Structure formats: C-alpha cells, structure tokens
Chain A
Amino acid sequence: MKKNSFSYTYLLGFLLVVLTGSAFATPVFNIEIRNHLFYPAELTIPVDTKVKLLINNTDTSAEEFESYELNREKVIPGKSTGVVFIGPLKKGVYPFFGEFFPKTAQGSIHVD
C-alpha cells in the first residue's frame, strides 16, 4: 500500500507533466554558489513559465537553497549540482537564500 500510493502520485505527476507538454520546453537557468555567494545574485526569469534552476555548489561545504516565497528547500551537497523547478510565477521579486550561510548567500528571482 505504501509503495502503491507513492507510485500512484509519481504516475499522476508524470502524466501531468506530459499533458502540459512542458517537459522538454522548460527553460534552464544556472546559478552558481561560490564562497557562500550566489552568482548571479539576481536572476530574471519569464512570467508564467516553469523554469529549471541548475544550482551548482562549487564550495566544499553543503548549502541549502531555500525560499519561503517560492516554497522551495533543497540541500545541495558540496561540489555538486542540484535541480530545483520553480514557477509558473506571477510578476514580482522572489527572494531566496542559502539557509546554511544566510548572511552572505542572498539572492532574488525577478519575474518579468
């Protein structure tokens, strides 16, 4: 039953992805974490579009990409790349930060 409920959601999600037809059209944006800073710190993405963020952590220590506004939270181990999907979003500024180094790792997504 446990397995089933999971694979069911999985299947449902997959179908939705396929049906919306956005699986291959998703634009990709790169963000790099270096010395506990985000590059770029300000990223502009299109309005009402789902985008795929590739977050490359070049530090040796882990970082957690977190945004309350975007509802995202993902641990990115040191020297690795994490994938986070965001959107579709309305126009506005959505701040994000690195939860492990919040004083320096600050950034925002600008939706235009």
Chain B
Amino acid sequence: MLINAVIIILREVLEASLILGVLLALSQHNQISKSWSLKALLLGGLAAVMYAANLAMISALHEGVGQEIVNAVLYVFIFTLILAIVYCLRDKQYLKLAAAAMFGCVVLAVLREGSEIIVYIHGFSTIPDLFTPVLVGSSIGAGIGLSIGVFVYYLIVSLPFIYGVISGFFVLVFIAGGMVSQAIQMLLQADLISSELPIWDTSQLVSEQSIVGQILFAMMGYEATPILLQVVLYTASILLTGFFAIGSIKRTQQGNLL
C-alpha cells in the first residue's frame, strides 16, 4: 500500500511541481513578479477539492465518459497555455500576458493532479488499517516530487539568463507534448477517437510501470504503445512549441528583453 501511495502521489505531484518550478524560474529570469504562484496554488487547490467532490457526477456525464472529456479539455488548455507562455516571453510588452498564462497553467495543473490525489487519499479515510501507511506513502511521494521541483527551479535560476530560458523552454516543450498525448489517450478511452492498433511497443525497453517509465511519463508523456494519431499530434505539438520557443530565444538574444 505504502509503495503504491508513493508512486501514485509522486506521479501527480512531480508533474505539477515540475510545471511550477520551471514557470517560477522563467518568471525569475524575466523579472516577472512571482505573486501569481501563490494565488494559482490556492485557486487550483480549491478547484481540485470541488472537482474531486463532484467526480462521480462528472464521470456519469455524456454516457459515462465525462471524466475523460473534462481531462482531455484540461490537457488541451494546459498545452495552449504553455504555448502562450513560450510565445509571450519573447517581448517585454507581453510579459503581463505570460504571467496570466502561467497563473492559468498552474491552476489547471494543480486542479488536475490535485483532484486525483484527493480522490485517492479520501478513499482510504474509511479504512483505518491502511490510512496511516497511505498517508506516510503519500508524504514520501509528495516530498520527493516537491524536492525535485525545488531543484529544477534553483538549477534553472542559477544558470545565466539565456541558458536558463533555453533549459526552461526545453522542459516546457516536452511537457506540452505530453499534454497533447494524454489528451488523445483520454479521447481514445472515451471512444471519441476510434481505437487502432499501436504502431509500436517499447514496453520491453522501458515499461510504463517502472520508475523510469513513470518519470518519463511525467516529463514528456512517455507512452509505450502509442497509436499513429498520437505520435503524429505529439510530434506536431512538440515541433510547434519548439518553433515558438526558438523564436522567443532568438528575439531575446537580439536584446529585446535584456
């Protein structure tokens, strides 16, 4: 139970704390006030509680696939906001927009990951024998996830401006790709996209179940058995975000932001 709690909570916390850490570091580099982060965490947490409380109702929507639709929408929104952040950091005049997008991005990430954590832990509150191990495991998972976020933040912040921005964007590009891939996954599961046979299977190489697989999943949406549409859209979203990122880095290097 304990190790299971560690892995479940770690996966959720790592994704949110990675996004938060990178965005805070990019704020620091671009001299954006970081006041958005606290508000985003509070609002995201509140929304997560509400989402978790109404999960049964949401799940039943649209012939039982409401959860998948909401999740897919959340993933697409997060992807769009990451795209907006990467674009807006190219010019001083867009920095306010970038901060707003960061706020939205963290709210949605916390909503998404937080609700899963609440549903998970809440389920054990009626099982006293398992509650302590689950709480201990959850604390360990959350501690590891948050610590990695802290290290990512200070690592990017300690880099010189241009390298900090490049590495921050690098992480964001893959998170963006992961969001699109997960959105497709949700639509597949809800049968809103017709299922096909996977075009490859790398589960022998890196199992999604393994720790490495879990970390790769959190960082870049690793999928051992993707379908063609997923691979195409994943690649496209990475190319698009990467294109925006390179544009922003070039503009920044020309001294627009310095």
Contact = CB atoms under 8 A, between A and B. Distances in A.
A86 B80 CA distance: 29
B185 A71 contact: yes
23 contacts: A2-B77, A5-B76, A5-B80, A10-B187, A16-B194, A50-B195, A60-B126, A61-B124, A68-B203, A71-B185, A71-B188, A72-B189, A73-B189, A74-B67, A74-B68, A75-B116, A76-B59, A77-B56, A81-B64, A82-B59, A85-B188, A85-B189, A100-B8
Contacts of A87: 195
A68 B191 contact: no
Contact of B194 (A6, A17, A64, A103): A17
Interface of B: 1, 4, 8, 55-56, 59-60, 63-65, 67-69, 72-73, 76-77, 80, 116, 119-120, 122-124, 126-127, 183-185, 187-195, 197-198, 203, 207-209, 223-225
Residue among A5, A75, A76, A82 facing the most chain B CB atoms (10 A cut-off): A75
Nearest to A78: B123
A62 B123 contact: yes
A40 interface: no
A100 B192 contact: no
Contacts of B203: 68-69
Given A71-B223, A75-B67, A81-B64, A13 B80 contact: no
Interface in A85-111: 85-88, 90, 99-103
- B interface, over-half SS: helix
B146 to A, nearest CB: 22
Given A1-B80, A9-B187, A68-B209, A16 B122 contact: no
Contacts of A69: 203
A29 interface: no
A15 to B, nearest CB: 9
Interface residues of A, number: 47
Given A61-B126, A68-B224, A74-B68, A50 B191 contact: yes
Given A2-B76, A62-B55, 12 more contacts: A13-B194, A20-B194, A62-B119, A64-B120, A68-B224, A69-B203, A73-B185, A84-B189, A85-B190, A87-B195, A88-B195, A99-B8
A102 to B, nearest CB: 6
A80 B59 contact: yes
Contacts of A103: 1
Contacts of A6: 72-73, 76
Interface string A34-46: 0000000000000
A90 B1 contact: no
Nearest to B198: A71
